[in-house]
Amino acid sequence: MDQKLKNKTAIVTGASGGQGAAEARLFAQAGARVILADVQDALGEAEAESIRDTGGDAHYRHLDVSSQENWQTVVNGIKAEFGELHILVNNAGVALRGGRVTNTSMEDWNRVLSINLTGPFLGIQTVAPLIRDSGGGAIVNTGSIAGMTGHFATAYSASKWGIRGITKSAAMELQEWGIRVNTIAPGLVMTPFLEGSDDFIEALGDQTPMQRGAEPEEIATVALFLVCEDSSYITGHDIAVDGGFLDFGGFNRVINQVMEKPDQKV
Ligand SMILES: NC(=O)c1ccc[n+]([C@@H]2O[C@H](COP(=O)([O-])OP(=O)(O)OC[C@H]3O[C@@H](n4cnc5c(N)ncnc54)[C@H](O)[C@@H]3O)[C@@H](O)[C@H]2O)c1
């Protein structure tokens, strides 16, 4: 694989599994030193070790993204140990499917917002000065199709709409530090995130024009594009990676329904 991230240091949050682990693996293959950060320590340590076993440069750090103190400790450690940082992927997130506006408790609302929205805010705030001092770089935030259209889970949807606002304002402010900031908005991705949601997986898979969920590696390749020089003129953007769901999912359903009729009156 091309060494598109040679001499770069990257931190990926939520990297103990799912998309974050796939991103960490791919970035390491592309030549980066990768810091995997998560709250699931045993899984994260094992993931970093398996990257090292294949010749990659990977290190695990405990990081609860909702804690400002944790962020400060991790970033100070990176600065002391490695001296520089060029890439941040704010990927850690939690779901709250079924959390409707009328039944979401304050506790759930605060938990989802603190991890999915405050977490990336704290990450950017803590990491950006070090990226600047390292010569610039790129930040990718993980949104969702739930933050691109109306959605049934209020707190989750609000967090993912909010991340797009952070992306755009951070992109505007950090351009003078040589830092690009973009959002990836995945559709259905086959990770532990969906555990216990079989009916949701089936329904969203059916409604997705490509008729399937993505593998985490199909998100990681887009993250790699957004953090390397191939995307040097893209910033402040939201990129949906969703098998066509947002852009033509509605009319795809319409035309499929029409085609089912024996005598079609289109
Ligand atoms: N899987 C999907 O269908 C899907 C769709 C759209 C968006 N997303 C988003 O993609 C991102 C990654 O999700 P995934 O599918 O890989 O899920 P996942 O559950 O496999 O991974 C999420 C990771 O985040 C970590 N995490 C949770 N809380 C944390 C915290 N406070 N601090 C640090 N790490 C924490 C978890 O331990 C886990 O390793 C999330 O932001 C999610 O909202 C997922």
CA 106–ligand 1 middle distance (angstroms): 21
How far is Cα 34 from Cα 223, in angstroms, rounded to an integer? Answer: 14
Distance from the alpha carbon of residue 68 to the mean position of ligand 1, in angstroms: 19
Instruction: Output the DSSP codes for 241-258.
Output: ESTTHHHHHHHHHHHHHH
Q: Rounded to the nearest whole angstrom, what is the distance from the C-alpha of residue 138 to the centroid of ligand 1?
A: 20
Pocket test for ligand 1, best of 16, 19, 149 (most atoms within 8 A of CB): 19
Q: pLDDT tens-digit profile of 181-196? A: 999 999 999 999 999 9
Q: How confident is the model at residue 97 (pLDDT cuts 50, 70, 90)?
A: confident
- Mean pLDDT, residues 3-23: 98
pLDDT of 1 strictly over 80 = no
Q: What pLDDT was estimated at residue 149?
A: 97
The set of protein residues with a Cβ atom below 6 angstroms from ligand 1 is 13-14, 16-20, 38-40, 63-66, 91-94, 115, 142, 144, 186, 188-189, 191-194
Indicate the pLDDT class of residue 265, thresholds 50, 70 and 90.
Answer: confident
Tell me the C-alpha distance between 60 and 38, whole Å.
8
What six digits make up the tokens of 150? 């109306």
Cβ(47)–Cβ(17) below 8 Å:
yes
Region 245-261: mean pLDDT is 94
Give residue 99's pLDDT. 80
Q: Is the pTM of this model over 0.85?
A: yes
Judged by phi (left if over 0) then psi (alpha if -120 to 50, else beta), residue 87 lies in beta
Confidence band for 121, pLDDT divided at 50, 70 and 90: very high
Q: Which atom of ligand 1 sits closest to the CA of residue 190? A: 1
Active site residue ranges: 156
Cα 179 to ligand 1 centre (Å)? 24
Q: What is the pLDDT of residues 122-180, one digit of tens each?
A: 999 999 999 999 999 999 999 999 999 999 999 999 999 999 999 999 999 999 999 99
* pLDDT, average across residues 45-59: 98
Mean pLDDT, residues 105-117 taken together: 98
Q: Is 183 helix (H, G, I), strand (E, B) or coil?
A: strand
| Nearest CA owner, ligand 1 atom 43 | 93
The per-residue pLDDT for range 199-224, each reduced to its tens digit, is 999 999 999 999 999 999 999 999 99
Q: How confident is the model at residue 264 (pLDDT cuts 50, 70, 90)?
A: confident
- Mean pLDDT over 44-60 rounds to 98
Q: Which atom of ligand 1 is nearest to the CA of 115?
A: 31
What is the per-residue pLDDT for 98? 83
216 CA: nearest ligand 1 atom: 16
Closest atom of ligand 1 to 90 CA is 41
- How far away, in angstroms, is 14 Cα from ligand 1 center? 6
Counting Cα atoms < 13 Å in the Cβ hemisphere of 107 gives: 0
Best CA proximity match to 74, nearest among 156, 163, 13, 138: 13
Domains belonging to the chain, first-starting first, are 9-259 (3.40.50.720)
